[in-house]
Structure 1
Amino acid sequence: MKKCFSTPAECQFVYVKGKVYKGVLSNGQRIAGKHIINDGHVETFVREGTSLSHVRHPNLVRLIGYCENHDEYFLVYELCHNGNLSEWLFGKAKVLSWIQIVEIAIDGARGLWFLHTYPEGCIVHRDIKPTNILIDANFRAKLSDFVLSKVMEVDQSHVSSEVRGTFGYVDPEYRKNHHVNASGDVYRFGVVLLQLLSGQRARFLARGGDITQLADPKLNGEYWI
């Protein structure tokens, strides 16, 4: 993983929310920074850094490098100017067209397929959800936030782990047997697809009904079946 600069002072960071900052490198490149304090969370820095440092795909947020200063770190990523999918699905001021919904779904599927078929071993994301799908300036969707990711050996069918992830996206099999594998990501992505179609949060998707009842009313009936 490349060290971008030695101290946070060498980059102009502006606070956004949570642990996320926007910044500009000395060469003018706009970036996003995830702030990590070494208070027991340095494992996050190591895991996400090593998981992404050598992985490149158009539908994955690119890790540029990192900076460190005493007991704090910044993971430095390409900036996705249009925020995350959750803001577009559930924000009142933003509306996705049907073609944008379809393209986001395809982009997400491509990124997930790349992770699951990675030659050095299947990379299981474990936290696929709208906030972890970012939208770049060209409105391409990119998977992000690999803090919970697990890398399986080529000959492994699963790895065992404590149940981690976001409520509403964790699949029943994983909750039952604690087996981490690609199918768990597929389940989570399926929930995201339902949210793309309906514009509803995960907890409201258990209700039955046909496609006309599921479709996001903001589409005004402009969708393909």
Structure 2
Amino acid sequence: MDCLTLMNNNSTDIFSCGIEKLTSGAGGCSDYSEIDVLNEIGSRLNSLRDDCRLMDSEGGLTKGCNKCLKTWREIAYTSKNDSMKLEDDICRFSMLILLTSQRVADESWIDKIFHCLGDNSLPLASSADESGNETIRSTKFKTDESYSEESSYRRLSLKEIYSATDSLSMSNFIGQGIAGKVYKGILADRQHVAIKHIIKDEQMETFVREVTSLSHIKHPNLVSLLGHYDAPIECFLVYELCHNGNLSEWLFGKSKYLSWRRRLEIALDCARGLLFLHSYPQGSIVHRDIKPANILLSASFEAKLSDFGLSKIISIGHSYASSEVRGTYGYVDPEYQKNRHVNSYGDVYSFGIVLLQLLSGQRVINLDLKNPMPLSKMAKNLTKGGNIKEFADLKLEGKFSMEAFELVLKLALTSIGLKQQRPSMEQVVVKLEEALDLSTRVESVHP
């Protein structure tokens, strides 16, 4: 018998305070209390608990989950009536709360339950493909600035990794970062991916844990982590492949060229990605390492933020005290270097430096000068009576809207100013949209 039918046999105490409406947003109390669930469907709850306990066994998540999931689905309401189905989901949710509360201290088991039955969504579901690889699906939250889609994250086998990269062939080697070597590859479903190979130590284990913990976060301007393979001594992180490399290559490569309009579009893409992170409902996500090398470009030059190894989730509007300064020299907020307080305005500073680089095509410190000078100081000096046009990248050949250029330069300098004077990423997005609109109108008059 399904969960809802069993519970309907119960006489509701209208003065009791349960859980249903607290989760649905109605602002009242639930029709179901803990005692109701135990009294009416205690035997089914015990069956579910026993079947889900198999995930502790040697069979692990895949084998144990199949039994747990089968029992979970058996107690589902089968009617196509949407309102009744919602009530049943709520009923089963009551069971899930009681199930996990009985082992609340066992974080490993609760994590397995979370991944088996679903990821923040009801009805909950999970599946495994023919090779036994787990596929975890979830429907993401929606906000005005968010991107919502049903996403798939996989735990891949070592065989799949080697098959995709032709056994880590040097012909597929595309770069190396602090974390490890990166290879391009093609999965069995023909999806092009970038695979990062990490040799583990204590620091790298923390890195992998932090990266994979953010795997569910999806947005068009964030590089998607598609899956990973984990072993005691090594790990492979599998990302979507961005065919045009990173922004650093395009800004500083002698044979590369980015038009003024494309630079604005790249800046706007990055700003939207950062705004999404900073306004994430479950806690503001601070990237902490915004720089051109971590801005990847798709085949259509859509910009995507990458490398979340240093990211921190903090309460929106708050800061986090870090035990050490992290980030890349030249892009780190001076105020963060002094007080080690992590907050979203540190990302705004780093993004301001990137804006200066998009305008000038210069590195953070110009070593070509007799007196090496930080890019931020060069820009500030030019605004004090100099010719602002001299700051523009020579590759642009003067083909840009001067009004839009000045607007972005002012925005960049405000972003690297004192923390109290810096704009939010929402304000940054608005200004960049204005600059792009200005440039579009100028191009329509003077194509």
TM-score by length of 1: 0.95
Cα offset, 1:182, TM superposition: 0.3
1:133-159 CA-partner distances (Å, limit 9, x unpaired): 0000111000000011100034x6100
1:193-212 CA-partner distances (Å, limit 9, x unpaired): 00000000011312221320
Q: Report the equivalent of 2:210.
A: 47
Pair 1:213-2:390 in alignment: yes
Cα offset, 1:184, TM superposition: 0.3
Pair 1:157-2:308 in alignment: no
For residue 203 of structure 1, the aligned residue among 341, 348, 365 is 365
Distance 1:97 1:9 in 2: 38
Cα offset, 1:69, TM superposition: 4.4
Q: Report the equivalent of 1:72.
A: 234
Unaligned stretches of 5+ in structure 2? 1-135, 137-152, 367-374, 403-447
Cα offset, 1:223, TM superposition: 1.1
- What SS does the corresponding residue of 2:365 show, helix, strand or coil? helix
Question: Is the contact between residue 36 and residue 42 of structure 1 (CA under 8 Å) also seen in structure 2?
Answer: no
What stretches of structure 1 move > 6 A for 4+ residues in a row?
none
Distance 2:232 2:210 in 1: 19
Q: Report the equivalent of 1:17.
A: 175
Q: Which has the higher helix share?
A: 2
Q: Which moved more, 1:65-74 or 1:28-37?
A: 65-74
Q: Report the equivalent of 2:401.
A: 224
- What SS does the corresponding residue of 1:200 show, helix, strand or coil? coil
Q: Which moved more, 1:201-210 or 1:82-91?
A: 201-210
1:98-154 CA-partner distances (Å, limit 9, x unpaired): 110010010010000000000100000000000000000111000000011100034
Specify the structure having the higher radius of gyration (Cα): 2
Q: Report the equivalent of 1:6.
A: 157
Pair 1:178-2:340 in alignment: yes
Cα offset, 1:70, TM superposition: 4.8
Unaligned stretches of 5+ in structure 1? none
For residue 116 of structure 1, the aligned residue among 262, 265, 278 is 278
Distance 1:158 1:136 in 2: 33
Distance 2:336 2:358 in 1: 24
TM-score by length of 2: 0.49
Q: Which has the higher strand share?
A: 1
1:29-40 matches, cutoff 5 A: 29-40=191-202
Cα offset, 1:192, TM superposition: 0.0
Q: Report the equivalent of 1:104.
A: 266
Question: In structure 1, what residue type is equivalent to 2:192?
Answer: R
1:116–1:153: structure 2 CA closer, same or farther, 3 Å change rule? same
- What SS does the corresponding residue of 1:55 show, helix, strand or coil? coil
Pair 1:88-2:241 in alignment: no
Q: Report the equivalent of 2:372.
A: none
Distance 2:351 2:388 in 1: 19
Cα offset, 1:68, TM superposition: 2.9
Question: Is the contact between residue 84 and residue 132 of structure 1 (CA under 8 Å) also seen in structure 2?
Answer: yes
| CA RMSD of superposed structures (Å) | 1.4
Question: In structure 1, what residue type is equivalent to 2:400?
Answer: Y
1:28–1:4: structure 2 CA closer, same or farther, 3 Å change rule? farther
Distance 2:389 2:330 in 1: 23
Q: Which moved more, 1:209-218 or 1:112-121?
A: 209-218
Question: Is the contact between residue 159 and residue 181 of structure 1 (CA under 8 Å) also seen in structure 2?
Answer: yes
Cα offset, 1:3, TM superposition: 3.1
